[in-house]
Amino acid sequence: MAWVADMAAVLSLFCGLLFGLGLLVSGMANPAKVLNFLDVLGPWDPSLAFVMGGAIVVTAPGFWLLRRRSAPHFAPQFNWPSKTDIDGRLLSGAALFGTGWGLVGFCPGPAIVAISFGNPRTFIFVAAMLAGMAAARALGQRINNVVA
Higher-confidence residue of 132 and 3: namely 132
Question: Could you report the per-residue pLDDT of 5-50, keeping only the tens digit for each?
Answer: 688 788 888 988 998 888 888 888 888 888 898 888 988 999 888 9
Question: Could you report the per-residue pLDDT of 58-90, keeping only the tens digit for each?
Answer: 899 998 998 898 888 777 888 888 888 999 888
Spatial CA neighbour of 30 closest among 92, 94, 98, 121 = 121
85: left (phi over 0), alpha (psi -120 to 50) or beta: beta
Q: What is the pTM of this model?
A: 0.70
**pLDDT bracket for residue 148 (50, 70, 90):** low
Spatial CA neighbour of 108 closest among 96, 128, 126 = 126
